């Protein structure tokens, strides 16, 4: 087992596969259930593929004919397996206990205001589905927002760092200065105004602009430009501004010699940027990008002003539904805390892994 | 200024510098530099820090844009506007004081990158050439290592292989041993000496007087942005003509 940890993963995978087949058959119709959110057929297919791959990999290792492609695939699948294992453990070990606890109490009516913990338990059980949905929306918003923001930031930062050179013609020099200034302006505007205000302006202004400039009826636009879509756009644009500055710092921190060496070998400025400077800058900026993601998890709560059903919005919903003021938000706060702490932990693991790859020094040479 | 080149190595001029000048702000670091480098020559540039020798070297492949004057490489002027600079730079190799290996690539990819992106060689061809050149500098056992795990001397040898892989007509060395521990200077100088024996044209800015004496075919002494004295190493080191050269040599050789 120690020499071939893959066998362990293989066995875990098989066990989880068994669980998921059971889930598929029983249709997972429980009171509190995560499995209803994951398509059982999807999980079964994923697990079968994973098991075959890990099995093959273990076989190739035993035969001492390692295959690098399988190795990479197995490393990813390992995490998929562990994720499913986590879900199934929750489903079949934790939730039954919770259910049993709930059933011992009479939770058909909301407990009185003086009973804090029962109230919280009641709201959680009654609102589990909405809370879970809100959590997923929050994660989606911050994940997609950070990724799209990063892509936008890469474009913006390429503009930002343009500097007119001596040998440039006048028009090129002007365009470069213009691009750099424009990108700077964007960063200043989006960093200098609150995301809440940006959200409101974008949500109400964009449909008006589109309908007036292309003459598309308002209700048709609203069908596409939903609360959630507006939310994605706002988070992406806002994140882009912050990450532009992060990337600029990372690029400027790279030793000038790297660019000089690339240019002295005949690489163009663009090639040197793409192949040498950007990869290093992004790697150095990874901790800050991760931070931005964690900040986004919290900051997407302001999107409730445009009616995006994220976690805070769900909390407000619960407040109206149960006529309780602070209990729902304590639950929401705890979920935020769990989300941010988990993400911080995962990011720290990722960073450690990346650093290890660089510092790994096999003494076999 | 003596512009006579010793007759025994008189060959085709590969690099001609005419009236080169360069200033940073108000400080003029290069003043009226005239220089000819012939094929197969090993030209060492010596002088105290701040005398403009590194700037001169960096002007030769336009890492610094000169303010005035002309540089002819193989008869093509580098300072006119429409020159294909990137193509020309592949023929002028450069080795830096701080190695400047690409930190995001391993040793092999460092040597392969410019071959595949600039010279458009196929991957197999580039790999073969890379390995051959790494073998030449004795670094072919380190193909998959990342630059951070190498010693200074090893890094500099990889940097030399990286320059060689482009099949340059001339290699510029910018104080290649100044950032090295004393015990690693030897291995790099050895590689450079081997290159010189093979007939590679080299321009070396150096503080290694012994190397200049033994390997150089011509030595240039620079001071305050001027070329003060120029000649064969034995002339410069044993019988310098200018007072400033004498003073400098007295300081570094004692």
The stretch A314-340 carries a mean pLDDT of 91
| pLDDT of A318 over the 70 cut | yes
Helix (H) or strand (E) holding B69: strand B68-73
Nearest CA in chain A to B89: A266
Facing residue for A266 by CB, picked from B89, B146, B159: B89
Task: Report the distance separating Cα A254 and Cα B97, nearest Å.
Answer: 17
Torsion from C-alpha of A317, A320, A326, A329, nearest 10 degrees: 0
User: Would the CB atoms of A271 and B117 count as touching at under 8 Å?
Assistant: yes
Set of chain A residues whose Cβ sits within 8 Å of the Cβ of B159: 261
Hey, is the C-beta of B10 within 8 angstroms of any chain A C-beta?
no
Closest partner residue to A276 among B104, B118, B142, by Cβ? B104
Query: What mean pLDDT is predicted for residues A5-12?
Result: 71
pLDDT range class, residue A359, cuts 50, 70, 90: very low
Interchain contact, B100 vs A263, CB within 8 Å: no
Residues of B in contact with A283 (CB under 8 A): 104
Of A260, A265, A358, the CB nearest to B114: A265
Please tell me the predicted confidence (pLDDT) of residue B2: 42
Please answer yes or no on whether A255 and B118 come within 8 Å at the CB atom: no
The CA angle A89-A94-A96, to the nearest 5 degrees, is 110
At residue A193, the pLDDT reads 95
Task: Please provide the average confidence, as pLDDT, over all residues in chain A.
Answer: 82
> What pLDDT does residue A231 have?
94
**Which residue did the predictor score with more confidence, A362 or B8?**
B8
Measured between CB atoms, does B193 come within 8 Å of chain A?
no
pLDDT of residue A119: 80
Which residues on chain A place their C-beta less than 8 Å from a C-beta of chain B? 166-167, 255, 257-258, 260-268, 271, 275-276, 279-280, 283, 358-359, 361, 365
The more confidently predicted of residues A336 and A125 is: A336
Say yes or no: B86 contacts chain A, CB-CB below 8 A.
yes
Whether A264 sits inside 8 A of B94 (CB atoms) is yes
- B56-75 core/surface letters (b: 16 or more CB in 10 A; e: else): bbbbbbbbbebeebebbbee
**Residue A67 in contact with residue A15, Cβ under 8 Å?**
no
The model's confidence at residue A2, banded by pLDDT at 50, 70 and 90, is low
Q: Closest approach of chain B CAs to the CA of A352, in angstroms?
A: 17
pLDDT at A134: 92
Q: How does residue A223 score in pLDDT terms, banded at 50, 70 and 90?
A: confident
Of all residues in chain A, the one with the smallest CA distance to B96 is A261
Q: Give pLDDT, residue A233.
A: 94
Give pLDDT tens digits for A34-59: 666 666 677 777 777 777 777 777 77
Q: Beta B13-24 vs B68-73: how paired, if at all?
A: antiparallel
Residue of chain A minimizing CA distance to B59: A264
Give yes or no for B144 touching A (CB within 8 A).
Answer: no
The answer to whether B101 contacts chain A (CB < 8 Å) is yes
pLDDT tens profile A64-85 = 666 677 677 777 777 777 777 7
pLDDT, average across residues A113-129: 80
User: How would you list the strands of the sheet with B76-77, edge to edge?
Assistant: B27-38, B13-24, B68-73, B76-77
A92 DSSP assignment: I
Interface of B with A in 18-77 (CB under 8 A): 61, 63, 65
CB atoms within 10 A of CB B87: 11
Encoded tokens for A50: 């994973």
**What pLDDT digit, counting tens, does each position of A152-162 carry?**
999 999 999 88
ipTM above 0.85, yes or no: yes
**For an interface test with B, which of A163, A165, A169, A261 has the most B Cβ atoms less than 10 Å from its Cβ?**
A261
A304-313: average pLDDT = 92
- Contact call for residues A285 and A247 (beta carbons, < 8 A): yes
Q: How confident is the model at residue A360 (pLDDT cuts 50, 70, 90)?
A: very low
> In chain B, which residue's Cα lies nearest the Cα of A265?
B90
Rounded to 5°, angle at Cα A127 from A126 and A129? 115
pLDDT tens across the length of chain B (254 residues): 344 445 444 568 899 999 999 998 888 999 889 999 999 999 999 998 888 899 999 999 888 888 888 899 888 888 776 678 888 899 999 999 999 999 999 999 999 999 999 999 999 999 999 999 999 999 989 999 999 999 999 999 999 999 999 999 999 999 998 888 888 898 999 999 999 999 999 999 998 898 899 889 999 999 988 999 999 999 998 888 999 999 999 888 87
| Residue B151: closest CA among A313, A365, A262, A15 | A365
What is the Rg, in whole angstroms, of the alpha carbon atoms belonging to chain B? Answer: 18
pLDDT at A105: 64
pLDDT of residue A102: 67
Of B94, B96, B103, nearest to A280 by CB-CB distance is B103
Task: List CB contacts (< 8 A) between A361 and chain B.
Answer: 149
Helix A327-359 to helix A278-299 angle (10° resolution) is 170
Phi, psi of B99 (to 5 degrees): 65, -55
Inter-chain CB proximity B96 and A280 less than 8 Å:
no
Chain A residues touching B90 at Cβ < 8 A: 265-266
pTM (two decimals): 0.75
Across the interface, whether the CB atoms of A266 and B114 are under 8 A apart is answered: yes
């Amino acid at each position: 087992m120690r020499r071939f940890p893959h066998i362990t993963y293989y066995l875990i995978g098989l066990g989880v596969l068994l669980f998921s087949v059971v889930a598929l058959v029983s249709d997972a119709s429980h009171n509190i259930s995560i499995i209803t959110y994951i398509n059982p057929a999807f999980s079964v297919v994923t697990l079968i593929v994973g098991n075959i791959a890990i099995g093959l990999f273990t076989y190739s290792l035993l035969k001492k004919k390692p295959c690098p492609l399988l190795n990479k695939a197995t490393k990813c699948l390992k995490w998929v397996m562990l994720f499913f294992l986590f879900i199934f453990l929750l489903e079949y070990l934790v939730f039954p206990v919770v259910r049993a606890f709930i059933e011992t109490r009479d939770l058909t009516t909301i407990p009185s205001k003086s009973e804090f913990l029962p109230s919280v338990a009641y709201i959680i059980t009654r609102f589990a589905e909405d809370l879970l949905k809100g959590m997923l929306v929050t994660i989606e918003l911050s994940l997609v927002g950070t990724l799209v923001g990063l892509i936008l930031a890469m474009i913006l930062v390429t503009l930002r760092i343009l500097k007119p050179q001596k040998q440039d013609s006048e028009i090129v020099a002007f365009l470069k200065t213009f691009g750099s200034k424009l990108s700077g302006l964007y960063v200043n505007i989006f960093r200098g105004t609150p995301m809440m205000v940006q959200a409101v302006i974008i949500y109400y202004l964009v449909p008006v602009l589109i309908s007036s400039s292309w003459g598309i009826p308002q209700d048709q636009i609203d069908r596409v430009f939903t609360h959630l879509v507006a939310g994605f756009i706002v988070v992406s644009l806002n994140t882009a501004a912050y990450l532009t500055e992060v990337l600029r710092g990372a690029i400027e921190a790279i030793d000038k010699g790297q660019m000089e060496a690339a240019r002295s070998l005949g690489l163009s400025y663009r090639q040197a940027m793409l192949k040498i400077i950007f990869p290093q800058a992004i790697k150095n900026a990874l901790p800050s990008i991760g931070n931005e993601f964690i900040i986004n998890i919290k900051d997407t709560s302001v999107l409730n002003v445009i009616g995006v059903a994220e976690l805070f919005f769900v909390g407000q919903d619960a407040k109206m539904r149960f006529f309780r003021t602070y209990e729902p938000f304590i639950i929401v706060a705890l979920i935020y805390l769990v989300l941010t702490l988990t993400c911080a932990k995962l990011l720290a693991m990722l960073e450690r892994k990346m650093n290890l790859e660089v510092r790994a020094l096999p003494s076999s040479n | 200024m003596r512009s006579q080149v010793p007759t025994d190595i008189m060959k085709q001029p590969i690099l001609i510098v005419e009236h080169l000048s360069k200033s940073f702000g108000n400080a003029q670091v290069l003043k009226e530099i005239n220089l000819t480098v012939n094929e197969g020559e090993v030209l060492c540039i010596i002088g105290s820090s701040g005398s403009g020798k590194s700037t001169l070297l960096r002007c030769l492949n336009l890492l610094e844009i000169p303010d005035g004057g002309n540089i002819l490489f193989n008869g093509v002027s580098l300072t006119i506007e429409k020159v294909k600079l990137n193509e020309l730079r592949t023929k002028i190799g450069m080795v830096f004081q701080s190695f400047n290996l690409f930190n995001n690539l391993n040793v092999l990819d460092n040597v392969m990158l410019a071959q595949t992106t600039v010279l458009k060689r196929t991957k197999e061809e580039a790999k073969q050439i890379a390995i051959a050149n790494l073998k030449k500098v004795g670094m072919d056992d380190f193909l998959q290592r990342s630059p951070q795990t190498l010693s200074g001397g090893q890094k500099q040898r990889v940097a030399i292989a990286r320059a060689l892989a482009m099949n340059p007509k001339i290699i510029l060395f910018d104080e290649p041993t100044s950032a090295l521990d004393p015990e690693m200077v030897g291995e790099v100088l050895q590689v450079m000496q081997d290159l010189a024996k093979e007939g590679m044209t080299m321009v070396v800015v150096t503080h290694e007087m012994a190397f200049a004496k033994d390997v150089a075919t011509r030595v240039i002494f620079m001071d305050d942005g001027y070329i003060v004295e120029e000649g064969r190493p034995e002339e410069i080191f044993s019988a310098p003509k200018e007072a400033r050269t004498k003073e400098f040599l007295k300081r570094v050789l004692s």
